[in-house]
C-alpha cells in the first residue's frame, strides 16, 4: 500500500529564513510525487511535481528514491508562503490515477 | 479558466438530516475524486470515479455515505443520516487519466453537523 508521511504538523520560520517541509513515502512501484498548497480558505492547487524539475514561487523539491523522500525547500521564506502544504503520491503505472496525500504541514512565516 | 465547481460552499445541518454535496468536474475530465479534510486526518480519499464508474470507495463509511455520478457533469456525495463527526471540508477534484495531468480541486463544501 502506498503511504505518504509528513512528520511535521506545524512549521514556523522567520521571514527570510530557509524552509524545508519534509515528505517521505512508501511505495513499491514507480511513484509520481507532487506538492499541493492550500492558502487560507482556498482550494488546493498544485505547486510542483517531481517530473517537471522546476522551481515554483522559489520552491524546489527533489525526489530521492534512495531515501524515499520528496522534501520541499525554499531558501528564503516570505510571509505569503504561509499556507498548508500537502505532499501527494500517484502510481505512475497504468491502471491507477489515485492520489494519496500526507496529512499536511502548516507553514507559518513570522514577519 | 475551467474550474471544478462545488455546491454548496457551506452547509450547517442538524444531526440525522440528509446532506447532499454536488460537484461539477471540469469538462472533458474522466476522473473524479472526493476527499474529506479534517485537522486531525488531513486529506482522506473517500471515493474515486473513472468514466463515471466507481473504482475505489473503500475510504467511505458505507452505512451512511454514498457517492454517485448520474452523468459526466455531476458527481454527488450524500450522507444520510449525518452525524457531528462528519463535520469537515469535503473536496471534489477532477483530472484526466492518461494525459499525465494534475488533479484540479474545487473550493470545497464546509459541512457542520450540530
> Residue A53: pLDDT above 80?
no
pLDDT of B100 reads 61
CA-to-CA distance for B43 and A86, rounded, in angstroms? 9
Which chain B residues are Cβ-neighbours of A98 within 8 angstroms? 33, 45, 48, 55-56
For B57-68, give the DSSP string.
Answer: -TTS-TTTEEEE
Q: Do A43 and B107 touch (CB under 8 A)?
A: yes
Which chain A residues are Cβ-neighbours of B55 within 8 angstroms? 98
Cell numbers linked to B112: 457542520
Q: Do B102 and A49 touch (CB under 8 A)?
A: yes
Instruction: Report the share of chain A in percent with pLDDT over 90.
Output: 67
Tens-digit pLDDT profile for residues A7-51? 999 999 999 999 999 999 998 777 889 999 999 888 999 999 887
pLDDT of B91 reads 96
Q: Closest approach of chain B CAs to the CA of A76, in angstroms?
A: 26
Smallest CA–CA distance from A42 into chain B, residue:
B107
Chain A touched by B74 (CB under 8 Å): no
pLDDT of A37 reads 96
> Residue A94: pLDDT above 60?
no
Chain A touched by B93 (CB under 8 Å): yes
Burial class (CB in 10 A: 0-12, 13-18, 19+), B64: middle
Question: Which of B45, B91, B105 lies closest to A98 in CB terms?
Answer: B45
pLDDT of A50 reads 84
Low-confidence ranges of chain B (pLDDT < 70): 1, 98-101
pLDDT of A1 reads 72
Using the CB atoms, write b or e for A8-44: b if 16+ within 10 Å. beebebeeeeebebbbbbebeeebbbbbbbbeeeebb
Mean pLDDT of chain A, nearest integer: 90
Residue with cell 505569503: A80
Chain A touched by B48 (CB under 8 Å): yes
Write the CA distances from A51 to B32, B80, B107, integer angstroms.
23, 41, 26
Amino acid at each position: 500500500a502506498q503511504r505518504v508521511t509528513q512528520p511535521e504538523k506545524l512549521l514556523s520560520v522567520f521571514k527570510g529564513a530557509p524552509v524545508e517541509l519534509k515528505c517521505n513515502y512508501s511505495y513499491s512501484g514507480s511513484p509520481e510525487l507532487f506538492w499541493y498548497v492550500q492558502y487560507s480558505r482556498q482550494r488546493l492547487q498544485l505547486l510542483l511535481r517531481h517530473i517537471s524539475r522546476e522551481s515554483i514561487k522559489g520552491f524546489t523539491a527533489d525526489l530521492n528514491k534512495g531515501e524515499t523522500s520528496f522534501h520541499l525547500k525554499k531558501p528564503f521564506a516570505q510571509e505569503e508562503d504561509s499556507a498548508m502544504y500537502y505532499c501527494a503520491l500517484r502510481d505512475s503505472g497504468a491502471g491507477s490515477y489515485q492520489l494519496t496525500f500526507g496529512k499536511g504541514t502548516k507553514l507559518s512565516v513570522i514577519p | 479558466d475551467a474550474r471544478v465547481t462545488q455546491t454548496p460552499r457551506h452547509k450547517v445541518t442538524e444531526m440525522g438530516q440528509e446532506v447532499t454535496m454536488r460537484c461539477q468536474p471540469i469538462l472533458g475530465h474522466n476522473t473524479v475524486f472526493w476527499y474529506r479534510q479534517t485537522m486531525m486526518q488531513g486529506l482522506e480519499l473517500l471515493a474515486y470515479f473513472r468514466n463515471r464508474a466507481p473504482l475505489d470507495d473503500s475510504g467511505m463509511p458505507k452505512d451512511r455515505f454514498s457517492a454517485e455520478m448520474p452523468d459526466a457533469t455531476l458527481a454527488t456525495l450524500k450522507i444520510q443520516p449525518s452525524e457531528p463527526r462528519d463535520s469537515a471540508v469535503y473536496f471534489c477534484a477532477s483530472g484526466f487519466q492518461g494525459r499525465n495531468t494534475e488533479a484540479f480541486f474545487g473550493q470545497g463544501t464546509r459541512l457542520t453537523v450540530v
